[in-house]
């Protein structure tokens, strides 16, 4: 499965959802999650993210491991998203800021 990680928080560009052939992205207030049981590992979303926030599960950086469980948990409770929308208003300012997990809203 693929995993959405730290740099999506407070950016949420949503380019990723447009290319997913199985529509397995789920939307929270300021983050998206991939449902691990639905992702077919096509890898199409990874290069689409302007924030480079998406990784294959086995390539998730050491300091972002908790996002693996978070994607699974949040994809169960958030609504599906399959159409691109505008990024969050201050996405550009937050793109690249480290350790944004503390800002993740549920
Ligand atoms: Fe969707 Fe493919 Fe990305 Fe999985 S790897 S979330 S199936 S686009
Ligand atoms: Fe997030 Fe990147 Fe998608 S910022 S919403 S994972 S395009």
Tell me: ipTM over 0.95: yes
Ligand nearest to the CA of 39: 1
Beta-ladder partners of 33: 26
Query: Of 12, 4, 8, nearest to 87 (Cα)?
Result: 12
Contact 12, 30 (CB under 8 A): yes
Ligand 2 centre to CA of 47 (Å) is 10
Ligand 2 centre to CA of 103 (Å) is 15
Does residue 56 line the site of ligand 1, with CB under 6 A?
no
Tens-digit pLDDT profile for the chain (106 aa)?
A: 999 999 999 999 999 999 999 999 999 999 999 999 999 999 999 999 999 999 999 999 999 999 999 999 999 999 999 999 999 999 999 999 999 999 999 9
Contact 1, 36 (CB under 8 A): yes
Ligand 1 centre to CA of 40 (Å) is 6
């Amino acid at each position: 499965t693929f995993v959405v990680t730290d740099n999506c928080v407070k950016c949420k560009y949503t380019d990723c959802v447009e290319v997913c052939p199985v529509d397995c992205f789920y939307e929270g207030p300021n983050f998206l999650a991939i449902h691990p049981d639905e992702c077919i590992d096509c890898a199409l979303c990874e290069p689409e993210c302007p924030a480079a926030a998406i990784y294959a599960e086995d390539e998730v950086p050491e300091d972002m491991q908790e996002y693996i469980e978070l994607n699974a948990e949040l994809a169960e409770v958030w609504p599906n998203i399959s159409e691109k929308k505008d990024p969050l208003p201050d996405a550009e300012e937050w793109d690249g800021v480290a350790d944004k997990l503390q800002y993740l809203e549920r």
